[in-house]
Amino acid sequence: MDGNHKFTTVDEYIAQYPEEMQPTLAEIRTVIKESAPGAEEKISYNIPAYFLNGRLIYFSVNKRHIGIYPLTSGMEAATEGLSAYKGAKASIHFRLDRPIPYDLLRQIVRFRVAENTK
């Protein structure tokens, strides 16, 4: 798909990627939805986004990684094992050439749910 396409659903976002990558993206989606029951799923900034009492978490595919954007600065202290993953101030990068740490993703989402429901 060209860079100008505006997605309207997460299904549409996932479908743009090669068939072999789609199960990984679907599993990320499932982990987020199961870890944040009641979160609203939508497209924001043209990537999958989840809202529960405000912004919760986003994810996107990049050239060499899947970016997870938990929108918090407290992740490092609250989530064991996070330091093994490269990222920026408010993101975590899961490399495409390595298995996705779904248990870590569950921890991240649950942490964010707790933050947003205080």
- Domain range annotation of the chain: 10-116
Q: What is the Cα–Cα distance from 112 to 5, expressed in whole angstroms?
A: 29
Backbone angles phi, psi at 106, to 5 degrees: -60, -45
Percent of the residues in the chain that have a pLDDT greater than 70, as a whole number: 82
What tokens does 107 get? 């921890």
pLDDT at residue number 9: 97
Q: Backbone dihedral region of 30: left (phi > 0), alpha (psi from -120 to 50 degrees) or beta?
A: alpha
Query: pLDDT of 21-42, one tens digit each?
Result: 999 999 999 999 999 999 999 9
Closest to 57 in 3D by CA, of 118, 105, 7: 105
Helix (H) / strand (E) containing 31: helix 22-35
pLDDT at residue number 71: 78
Q: What is the pTM (predicted TM-score) of this model?
A: 0.87
CATH tag, 10-116: 3.90.1150.200
